[in-house]
Structure 1
């Protein structure tokens, strides 16, 4: 089957947990491989490191494109990030999306002497350094968070695309300036259209670059007998709903979520359609709503089902959701 990438209706998948066994990721990868379209995304895994998971899948013969959503920049120098990204492109034989993000202030404090003073500026410089290195430029940079004086060894490999994790307008403008992909997570559709998209265009115009495409991770669950969807949403997003930067974004989007009350936040995600639930066909409709609001690549996340009901239930939901999506594209 010929693999399709970056079509106007791309639907991809995220493995929704930190990986502890490659075998747990494999059903998601094989599902996409059989389907013949879509990308497998992983967030930052502190179990088996994200890029190592991709390498293991490629070594097992899985032939699908990968993307990080997102790798946390405080963990590595941009030179190492460039090595990791180009390695996955080479090992997979397909373009790799190197999605980068600074993480929360709490995470930054855990691995650095202090939180990043200017996380948006740091992210912009980080991506620029990665791109310059992989493009074969000699980099001399002493400003910002990292000192880099290097040129990258030349290697023929599929292209690396650069992504930034985007929640709020300042990072969206930075993504417009330097990234190929703006990666959003838990972002309501109107907020993408009305807030993030204009900021992406502003940043792109500032740098004379194309506007990045938007890849949005969307929580979803099939509504089945015995499932209480707000509880599934809480199982999916409790950590995000307890975080200041995510709940700040949701409040900007008109959803009154607060870190002190993730239970209410989960219910509001369902009521607003940010967490998409229903029959597989109704979920396909909900995913189309994201596309109608400017999302180029919808990334389906069945984390809540996996956490609440197990791996088999999550793969079943995902299989049925993708079948519903593909049925309307046929």
Structure 2
């Protein structure tokens, strides 16, 4: 049975903007509050702010970008957040697109999979308190792990779009985090690769978290506009285009409306009345997803914060 969680549907300019969403998670049956990489108020600090306000809920980063912080900083931030919130934390990590890597390093990773393997290996060792001498192509660390700090556990998540990264997540991650991935593609491509990687490493396959864009249908709403308000930037990303192409969805940047309609048709963006939403979520459950994260970014950007919060509350009441 899948659990349902909530994604903060915007980058907060001020940490207090996270408070209504943390309060919703605390007061409802939603399991966890997620936030992606923020280039405004920093993700970990916003979560810590909510905890300081008394809203100590489970949180997850889905995902923070590896080029922006060394593995030592990533481990320290995640563990500190678990202590501050008094709840388990999913530290979701991802390499970012080639443009992000180039912005930070002057060139993209030659092998994002190698970069992720090195990064996660160091973060896991640091959290375990291990002595390490890791010399990597992209990330290195020489020294002792973090000193013991009582608190809830940190799970390491890895952003997964394609089979290669899924196999790696199966080997080394606790959680595989997906974004804009069709349920059939999860079932036929991602989950088998996760299991393959886990079997090769002699371990249990990681939990699967799917961050799913969603909106209720209303007479005043154009679902295509909601899709584009939520995901237009992703549809321009070569790695997302490649993933969707593997799933049978071709994105033409000259006609993004057609791509948006395809996402609606294939249940990538779940839209309709409440009954249709439930059916859409069932497709993710049947594909093997353990946690469905409700993403109402499209509603937020077209109708504002109160509408997005109301939408989340209505959906959670019905499905969680």
Bin of the TM-score, shorter chain as denominator length:
over 0.9
1:168 counterpart residue number: 162
Deviates more, 1:153-162 or 1:89-98: 153-162
Q: Aligned to 2:156, what secondary structure does the other structure show? A: strand
For 1:168-247, list aligned pairs within 5 A: 168-247=162-241
Task: Measure the CA separation in 2 of the matches of 1:23 and 1:229.
Answer: 30
Structure 1 residue corresponding to 2:247, chosen from 249, 253, 268: 253
In structure 2, how many angstroms separate the alpha carbons of the residues matched to 1:60 and 1:243? 37
Structure 2: distance between partners of 1:39 and 1:32: 7
Render the CA deviation track for 1:175-229: whole Å, top value 9, x for unaligned: 0010010000000000000000010011101111110110000000010121011
- Where in structure 2 are the equivalents of 1:149-164 lying within 5 Å? 149-151=142-144, 152-164=146-158
Cα pair distance change 1:260/1:208, threshold 3 Å: farther
Q: Could you say which residue in structure 1 is the equivalent of 2:37?
A: 44
In the other structure, the counterpart of 1:93 is 86
Distance 1:158 1:120 in 2: 29
Match runs of 1:264-303 below 5 Å: 264-303=258-297
Which residue is equivalent to 1:5?
A: none
Give the 3-state SS of the residue equivalent to 2:155 in structure 1: strand
Q: Is the 8 A contact 1:281 1:324 kept in 2?
A: no
Aligned to 1:27: 20
Unaligned runs of 5+ in 2: none
Superposed CA RMSD in Å reads: 1.1
Which of 47, 55, 65 in structure 2 is aligned with 1:62?
55
Tell me the distance in 1 between the aligned counterparts of 2:235 and 2:294. Answer: 18
TM-score by length of 2: 0.97
Q: Which runs of 5+ in 1 are unaligned?
A: 1-7
| Cα contact 1:15–1:41 (8 A) shared by 2 | yes
C-alpha spacing 1:184/1:278, structure 2 compared with 1 (3 Å): same
1:292 deviation in Å? 0.8
Q: Distance in 2 between matches of 1:32 and 1:280?
A: 20
1:304 paired residue number: 298
CA distance in 1, matches of 2:107, 2:319: 45
Report the secondary structure of 1:162's partner residue: strand
Look up the SS of the partner of 1:221 in the other structure.
Answer: strand
CA distance in 2, matches of 1:261, 1:106: 22
Question: How far is 1:36 from its partner?
Answer: 4.0
Contact kept? 1:281, 1:325, Cα under 8 Å: no
Q: Matched residue of 1:216: which SS?
A: strand
Q: Which residue pairs with 1:124 in the alignment?
A: 117
Give per-residue Cα distances to partners, 1:9-67, cap 9 Å, x unaligned.
21001112222122332221111100144110100001011111111111111021000
Question: CA deviation digits over 1:42-100, x for unaligned, max 9?
Answer: 00001011111111111111021000000100011101100001000000001100000
> Is residue 114 of structure 1 aligned with residue 121 of structure 2?
no
- Partners of 2:110 and 2:10 in 1: CA distance: 29
CA contact (8 A) 2:30 2:316 kept: no
Distance in 2 separating the partners of 1:135 and 1:181: 17
- Aligned residue-pair number: 319
Indicate if the aligned counterparts of 1:108 and 1:115 stay in contact, CA closer than 8 A. Answer: yes
Q: Which has the higher contact order (CA 8 A, sep 6+)?
A: 2
